[in-house]
Structures are given as C-alpha cells and as structure tokens.
Amino acid sequence: MERQSRNRVILTPRNSEISSINFKIKKRKSVFRGPSSLMLVVYGFLSLIFIGAFLLFLPISHSGNFNVSFVDALFTATSAVTVTGLVVLDTGSTWSFFGELIITMLIFIGGLGITTSAAFLIVIMGQKVGFQNLLLIREEIRSQGLSNLGSLVINVVFLTLIIQIIGSIIFFFSFSILIREFDEFSLGQLIWLSVFHSISAFNNAGFETLSILGSESLTIFKYKPLILMIFSTLIIIGGLGYFVLHDLVHHRRIGKIKFRLKLFLETRLILLGYLILILFGFLFIFIGEFSNPNTLGNMDLSNKIFNSFFGSITSRSAGFSTFDYADLTGFSLLITEILMFIGGAPASVAGGIKITTFVVLALAVFSFLRGRKSVTIWRKKIPQETINHSIVVIIILALMILIYIFFITLLNNEIQFDKIVFEVISAFTTTGLSTGITSEVSILSKYLLISAMFIGRLSSLVLIFLLTNSREPNYNLSEEKIRIG
C-alpha cells in the first residue's frame, strides 16, 4: 500500500521577531515612595497651613483696622495647625470672629491629624478608604494593624468631639458663675469663648482670647483653682491620646489587680511617666518660684500649689500660663525646658520626644548601671530596637534645636540668649510657651520658627516611618572595640 505523502510546512521566523526588544524605563523622579510614603501627610499639612494663612490674611479675618502681614498670617496658621500656640499677634484683639473661627478649625484638624480627618470624611460619606490611606492612617495614629481602621477613625473623631463638647459646657457654666468679668458678655460671646478654649485646651494648642479682658494668657484665672483644674484635665486627656484612653476604658470593669496587669505596657509606661513628670515639675517650679514676687511670691500657699501644678502640666505641651515666663527664675526656666523637651504621649496632640522615649532611655541607663544586658520592667523585656530608636529620636531633636538656636541667635544679637533657647525649644516641641520675644525676632527668624513648628509636629511621625522601613544588610562585618568616655 502506497503511503500518502505528507506536506510539511516549515515556518521560518522573521529577524524582527527573534531580535531582542529593548525597553527604556525612565527613572522615577517623584518623591512618593509608594503606599507607605508619608509625603502625603506632609503635603496635607502644608496645604492646610497655606489655606489657613490665606484666609487669615483676608481683611474679613481682622478686627478693626489691623493690617496683618502675610508672614504673620502664615506664622499664626502654622502655630494653629501644629497646635503650638506661639503667636506674633494677640489673638483676642487682632482677629475677628471669622479669624478666630479659622484658627479654631485649624487647631481641630491639626490636632486630629490630616489623614485621620480626611479618612473620617470619606467614611461618613459611605466611601471606602484606599489601602494607601490605610497605611498612612496607621502611621499617623500609631495603630498596630490595618483591621477595622475605618471604625477606629470614627471612634477617634467622635471621642474627641464628645470630650471637647463636654469641656465647652463645663467652661460655659464655670465662666458664667465664677468670673465676674464675663457678666457683660452676651450669651453668644460666652458660648464662643467656652468652645474656643475647650478646643484649644484639649488639643494642647495654647491659644486664648482673654486679652479683651486685659489678661495675658490665663493670668485672670490664677486665683480660680476650679478653672485651672478644668484646663488641666483637658490638657492631660489630650496629652495622653486616644489609645491610652481606650485602654483605660476597655478595662474599666476589671478588678484593681487585673486592671493593672491587663493594661498594655505602653499605657502603663505613659501613666507612670506622666505622674512622675507632673510631680517633678510641680516640686521644682514650686521651689523655684516660691519667693519670686513676679510669679508665685505674693500668693497664699494653696494658690501657689495650684499654680505650680498647672505650670507643670502646661509646660509639657499646652502653652498656657498663669504668669509671665519672662519673670521666671533661671532654675524654673531650665525645668520648663526639660519638661517641654520630653512632651506627652505618642499618638497624642503633644509634642517633644514623647514620654515613652524618655522612660525607655531612663530604664536603659538604669539597667546599664546595674550591669544588665537587657532592659526589663514589669516582667516585660523592651526590644533593643526600641531602645535604639529612642536614642536616635533624642539625638536628632537635640541637634536640630542646637542648629536653630545658632542661627536665630546670629540673627537677633539684641535678644538674650536664654530667651532664644526657650523660644526654639518651645517651637520644636510644639509647646507654645514664650518669654515674649516671638513678635520681636527678625522676619527671617519668624520663618525659621515656622519651619521649627512644622518639623516638630511631623518629626516623630517621619522618624518612625524611616526607622521602621530601614533594612539590615545580609552580611555581618568584623567588630572592633573603641574607647569611649
């Protein structure tokens, strides 16, 4: 049987099909680093600051015939967004109701956080928060994970709103009953005064409008311990932050022993540090100013105690005062600078290096002096990485403060050096206390203080991002000891 011939088709590829294909990929020039980039937060804060500055620059924001320069409007907006409280213009007499309303909104959004505020609006409108924004929110509010961040944001916003509303109500009745100077105020003025100071106190902003009564900061309340207690309570709650409050509320029905044991280690360290620093500040301010006639010297013992406690609490980040800090002794100024440098709790409205950083480093030094290789407290070991991060945070903030002190001193030879040091520390730690030189410094120095407040508000967030995204090399090098000390 004859085989049928088979036709074979041989395909020969064209040269164009087998030649290599070259792709040219342009180098990315964007500063964004993908979903984890914190530049979105930085841009958000900058946008809010410049929008606020523009609105404050408008004549509608000014009271009477005040002419506000753009640099002063920018300074005020930055101080409000970063919840600092340093001012170059008196808040009560310079700004109209519209201007004060803008400042209040900047304080509220700045204290809450740009990303958290934006996410809240997205959630309540029924939209989904993107993965990139979830990562940014996690970094901004220092959450441990990504689950239920949407509901967490809502809880944070509503809790802060409730606390500030309650504070406003308490202020309203306290001002109405206890302060005779407010008798001439209309109902609307008294309500606005209460709302403004409640928001400012909770967010540790330090803004006040009491100059309309001839008062500098809270000096009108220095003999009103109840008013000082209300301010102190709001300042402490804001300085503790949402997660400490949540941890405390979550365990409110548990017995005393279990309550202590079940709290997160971070919560216990914050509460311990807060208590120690308040007592430390109170004791040394009380001693330093006891006989100073310009501050506590002319008060009776009870008012000396209340004002010393308030000075210790507000020095950590709030920026309110019941006496002129230009009149403080050198000893008390130094104590205040230490308290400002330490600041409040992580993920709160407070600035500084944060209480946990201070406590961790103190424990590390104590362990080293006792000859221990690991740092432990309450049967918990603190990771070496956390200790290293604490050292980096302290060194970087201290170096930046020194650099700014150098340049501002160079630009303002006529101002005392100790006052410049105090002002720079106050700006970097977003505290807002001042010895009265803020409006006296040069224009270039104002821009430096603006940048200091901005860096101080975002420094911890950026440092955490950089440190947690660092990569170790896949190899080890030989060690060689060097002598130190």
* pLDDT tens profile 278-318: 999 999 999 999 999 988 888 889 999 999 999 999 988 88
Q: Residue 220: what pLDDT? A: 86
**Per-residue pLDDT tens over the stretch 452-484:** 999 888 876 666 555 555 566 666 677 777 766
Confidence of residue 53 (pLDDT cuts 50, 70, 90): very high
Q: Which residue has the higher pLDDT, 74 or 215?
A: 74
End-to-end CA distance of the chain: 103
Reading the block at residue 178, the tokens are: 């206890």
What burial letters (b/e) apply to 159-186, b meaning 16+ CB within 10 Å?
ebeebbeebbebbbebbeeebeebeebe
Residue 343 lies in a domain: yes
Q: What is the count of structural domains for the chain?
A: 1
Cα(313)–Cα(308) distance, rounded to whole angstroms? 9
Residue 476 lies in a domain: no
Cα(36)–Cα(47) distance, rounded to whole angstroms? 20
Q: Residue 368: what pLDDT? A: 85
Give the whole-number percent of the chain exceeding pLDDT 70.
Answer: 76
Residue 22 lies in a domain: no
Confidence of residue 260 (pLDDT cuts 50, 70, 90): low
Give the dihedral sign, CA 108/211/317/171.
Answer: negative
23, pLDDT greater than 50: no
Residue 37 lies in a domain: yes
**Per-residue pLDDT tens over the stretch 149-199:** 566 777 778 888 899 999 999 999 988 887 777 777 888 889 999 999 999
Q: Residue 51: what pLDDT? A: 93
Residue 475 lies in a domain: no
Q: Residue 32: what pLDDT? A: 42
Q: Residue 15: what pLDDT? A: 56
Sequence-distant contacts of 168-174: CB under 8 A, at least 24 apart = 168/194, 168/195, 168/198, 168/199, 169/194, 170/198, 170/230, 171/197, 171/198, 171/230, 174/226, 174/227, 174/230
Surface-to-core class of residue 446, CB atoms within 10 Å of its CB (0-12 exposed, 13-18 middle, 19+ buried)? buried
SS3 per residue for 335-361: HHHHHHHHCCCCCCCCCCCCHHHHHHH
Q: Residue 188: what pLDDT? A: 87
Confidence of residue 18 (pLDDT cuts 50, 70, 90): low
**Per-residue pLDDT tens over the stretch 431-455:** 989 888 988 889 999 999 999 999 8
Cα(273)–Cα(259) distance, rounded to whole angstroms? 18
112, pLDDT greater than 60: yes
Confidence of residue 350 (pLDDT cuts 50, 70, 90): confident
Residue 131 lies in a domain: yes
Q: Residue 127: what pLDDT? A: 47
Cα(457)–Cα(85) distance, rounded to whole angstroms? 12
Q: Residue 34: what pLDDT? A: 44
Q: Residue 373: what pLDDT? A: 80
Residue 13 lies in a domain: no
Residue 23 lies in a domain: no
Give the whole-number percent of the chain exceeding pLDDT 90.
Answer: 31
Q: Residue 85: what pLDDT? A: 87
The CB density around residue 255, as the number of other CB atoms within 10 Å, is 10
Host domain of residue 351: 33-468
Q: Which residue has the higher pLDDT, 334 or 246?
A: 334
Q: Residue 356: what pLDDT? A: 87
- Give residue for tokens 């302060």: 179
Q: Residue 93: what pLDDT? A: 85
The average confidence (pLDDT) of the chain is: 80
Q: Residue 31: what pLDDT? A: 45
Cα(113)–Cα(129) distance, rounded to whole angstroms? 16
